[in-house]
Structure 1
Amino acid sequence: MRDPASAHWLLALSGSSLCLCLLATALLLLPQWQQQLPARRGVVSLHLAADGSLRLWNQPIASAALPGLLARTRRLAPSTRIRLVVAPQVPWGVVQDLLPRLDSSPLHVDLELPPTPRS
């Protein structure tokens, strides 16, 4: 038979391990959950990186997949708004190349420019 003190230590270590696992899982999932919050409000945020790549909910998407994504979004929720979030290092020419592809969709497009640097 086990010593009652060792059983308490075993229970405490098991509880601590469970808490650490839950904390690690929360740290992994929380940023993803925060990225998806605007979608519940009818806003799909596309992030444009400095190299011209697009990310949707922290996942890279090919620019060729953009028309299909916009069409599917329109079918599921016609009142959805597309928000293009531009990184500070993105050249304006890259934004100008992407905007006509977004404007071809009947969905409303918002352009979120990076904040201007303070002097």
Structure 2
Amino acid sequence: MNRTGSMAWCAGLAAVAVSQLLLVTALIVLPQWRAQQSARRGIVTFFVAGDSSIRLWNRPIDSAVMPGLIRRAEQLDSCTRIRLVLSPGVPWGVVHDLVSLLDETALDVELQLPAAARS
């Protein structure tokens, strides 16, 4: 191969490597970005997994910090809404405990139940 052909191959491989890097970065960043879009619309979203773990957008938190986060949201903007998104298999006792934490807020609270199982 001549020198020009080798340089073309190198440039092509570099372009493929950069494209793959951009794709992998997008696959990592895009879900986080989408999860936080609700915050820009004034919605604080708590996700509750089947194992009762809680995530604020895409970050794990302890349920004990929820009241403080909600008070802070109230102070920042009284139009903020709280959304509690439940995964299938969350025990109703856990849901009851979380809803009781939300009873003391003046903010609007939404409870998003999991989709019904299809038979």
TM (normalized to structure 1)?
A: 0.90
When the two chains are superposed, the root-mean-square deviation of aligned CA atoms in Å is 1.4
The number of equivalent residue pairs is 118
1:87 deviates by 1.2
Q: Secondary structure of 2:84's match?
A: strand
Q: Deviations over 1:49-69 (max 9, x none)?
A: 222221111111011111121
Structure 1 segments (4+ residues) deviating >3 Å: none
**Offset of 1:28 from its aligned partner?**
0.6
Does residue 8 (structure 1) correspond to residue 11 (structure 2)? The answer is: no
SS at match of 2:106: coil
Amino acid at match of 2:77: A
- Counterparts of 1:3 and 1:28, CA distance in 2: 38
Counterpart AA for 2:47: H
Separation (CA, whole Å) in 2 of partners of 1:5 and 1:118: 58
Gaps of 5+ in 1: none
Q: Distance in 2 between matches of 1:22 and 1:32?
A: 16
- Work out whether 1:113 is the aligned partner of 2:119: no
Taking the TM superposition and a 5 Å limit, the aligned residue runs for 1:1-119 are 3-119=3-119
Gaps of 5+ in 2: none
TM-score, with structure 2 as normaliser: 0.90
Q: In the aligned structure 2, how far is the partner of 1:64 from the partner of 1:90?
A: 18
1:26-45 deviations in Å (ceiling 9; x for gaps): 01111111111222221111
Partner Cα separation in structure 2 for residue 56 and residue 16 of structure 1: 36
